[in-house]
Amino acid sequence: MTTKISTAIRPLKNQVIKATQPGTLLADFEVFLNFIDSDGIEVSTGNQLLPMNLLREINNQLQNPLHLDLKRPQQKSYPHINALYLLSRVTGLTIVKNVGKKRRLVKNEPVQQSWQTLNFTERYFTLLEAWLIYSNAEVIGEYSPFFGLSDLKKIAEKLLAESLHFPEMKSQKSALYGLDTLTIALMELFGLVTIQHGQPEIGQGWRIRKIQITPLGQAMYLQLFEVNHSNLEKLLEHTLGFFLDDTEQIEALPQFGVLQELFKIDFPAWQNTLQLPKPKFQPGQYLFKVFLHKAWRRFNIPGTLTWDNFAQLILEAFEFDDDHLYCFEYRNHFGREIRLNHAYLEEMPFTDETKIGELGLDTGDELVFIYDFGDHWEFQILLEEIVPSEQECIQLLEKQGEPPQQYPEYDDWEEEDN
């Protein structure tokens, strides 16, 4: 290690982590968690995001509230709130549950109990790993192949070359084109950059006048990507392969402490990690209602049945043949979109190896059964109830409406041929 790099990473050893040091992360995260009362917060049905009417109130309670001039700001309009939401979901500290006909963001009490045992340093690095290693854009309803470590590296390298100054909103948008403002907000929360905020222009969102990397930000970058880059790659490849190459397990749990080997000398207070309870198989009888266009069918099946068996039941009930490939799609407890694939497809998990009760589904959860990737039939599936039962039975309880023809007769084509 050169003397120059050795000097540049010294801020790691000197850094004290408190609620508002090195950034406002831990104080703001606590504000966000405290905002979720015993009843939880109602979220949108699609991407499970926060309602617009609460965003201003949450923003006003943060250490550095943003000033916007937007009539209908959404969650992504407040990048810091978006970041806090992302971290709460990825860590499992909050989950989305169905309460009646509403989806609500609630605290995950077993994980909350583990969180309360951690000191400031342990909480800081838990959230850092949640961001850099386990986060995914789909958790906040977006799609990006670059996230976490890759975005940090890209923005840090740009800031190491020069500070960014934006005299007006036009120059800000031009300079930050292709750079994620969510990542910039996360870097500010973690104390890796300092940002000079400005007053918003008419009808515009977050106004940034200047971004500058902090000594800690530079030290963190060097530690990850220069000093210990080879060790970082080995740790990620060994521990997190299925997260990085998008080959999902059913309820793949984050294993916090992955970066501990790289930072334990400089942060000896990092002793413990957040513990997530392993998902348990949920037995009983599952009542599903499956829709296709105007037709629907209601099933009563045991939790021990495989998803491949369920697929065959659906196809038979809707009078479809079973000559094509398919998949099931749903959103897991961490906000990640999971696909259960036909055994002839390449990516795990496979439907013939996965049982109904292994997904940790709750009443009101929804899935999509996509059959025949050419014609792309989409069956909507609603879990209506899970009934505790020691007996196992497979029943088609009720059916309504005529299903569409799988292979309709195209009379017009025949007439054209003639």
- Cis-peptide into 22, omega within 30 deg: yes
- Cis-peptide into 349, omega within 30 deg: yes
pLDDT tens for 160-188 read: 999 999 999 999 988 887 777 999 999 99
Q: Are residues 238 and 292 in the same domain?
A: no
176-190, 292-306, 307-321, range with the lowest pLDDT: 176-190
Look at residue 271 and tell me if it is in a domain: no
Q: How far apart are CA 329 and CA 337, in angstroms?
A: 7
98-112, 181-195, 264-278, range with the lowest pLDDT: 98-112
- 391 vs 191, which has greater pLDDT? 191
| pLDDT at site 237 | 66
pLDDT above 90 coverage of the chain, percent = 69
| pLDDT of 24 over the 60 cut | yes
Q: How far apart are CA 35 and CA 29, in angstroms?
A: 10
Split into its structural domains, the chain has a count of: 2
| pLDDT at site 62 | 97
Look at residue 374 and tell me if it is in a domain: yes
| pLDDT of 303 over the 70 cut | yes
Edge-to-edge strands, sheet with 164-165: 164-165, 208-213, 193-197
| pLDDT at site 386 | 95
Look at residue 115 and tell me if it is in a domain: yes
H-helix or E-strand containing 158?
Answer: helix 149-161
Mean predicted confidence (pLDDT) in 302-329: 96
Q: Are residues 177 and 312 in the same domain?
A: no
pLDDT tens for 213-244 read: 999 999 999 999 888 777 777 766 655 554 44
Q: Are residues 141 and 242 in the same domain?
A: yes
| pLDDT of 77 over the 50 cut | yes
Mean predicted confidence (pLDDT) in 128-142: 89
Q: How far apart are CA 381 and CA 298, in angstroms?
A: 10
CA distances in angstroms from 272 to 16, 117, 269, 276, listed in the order given: 17, 9, 9, 13
Mean predicted confidence (pLDDT) in 251-279: 89
Q: Are residues 36 and 176 in the same domain?
A: yes
* Region of residue 246 (phi > 0: left; psi between -120 and 50: alpha; otherwise: beta): left
| pLDDT of 138 over the 90 cut | no
> Global pTM?
0.89
Mean predicted confidence (pLDDT) in 195-220: 95
**Amino acid at residue number 211:** I
User: Could you tell me the residue range of the domain that residue 85 belongs to?
Assistant: 3-263
Q: Are residues 179 and 231 in the same domain?
A: yes
| pLDDT at site 250 | 62
Confidence of residue 409 (pLDDT cuts 50, 70, 90): confident
Look at residue 272 and tell me if it is in a domain: no
Q: Are residues 370 and 247 in the same domain?
A: no
Q: Are residues 136 and 192 in the same domain?
A: yes
Residues contacting 384, CB < 8 A, separation 6+: 287, 288, 289, 298, 363
Residue bearing tokens 């929804």: 366
Q: Are residues 358 and 248 in the same domain?
A: no
Round the average pLDDT of the chain to a whole number and report it.
89
Look at residue 408 and tell me if it is in a domain: no
| pLDDT at site 235 | 66
Q: Are residues 234 and 337 in the same domain?
A: no
Q: CB–CB of 7/13 below 8 Å?
A: no
Q: Are residues 392 and 257 in the same domain?
A: no
356: domain CATH number? 3.10.290.30
Q: Are residues 138 and 203 in the same domain?
A: yes
Look at residue 217 and tell me if it is in a domain: yes
- 418 vs 55, which has greater pLDDT? 55
Mean predicted confidence (pLDDT) in 292-309: 96
Q: Are residues 39 and 185 in the same domain?
A: yes
| pLDDT of 377 over the 80 cut | yes
pLDDT tens for 324-368 read: 999 999 988 788 888 999 999 988 889 999 999 999 898 889 999
Confidence of residue 410 (pLDDT cuts 50, 70, 90): low
Q: CB–CB of 316/418 below 8 Å?
A: no
Look at residue 22 and tell me if it is in a domain: yes
Residues contacting 391, CB < 8 A, separation 6+: 285
Look at residue 13 and tell me if it is in a domain: yes
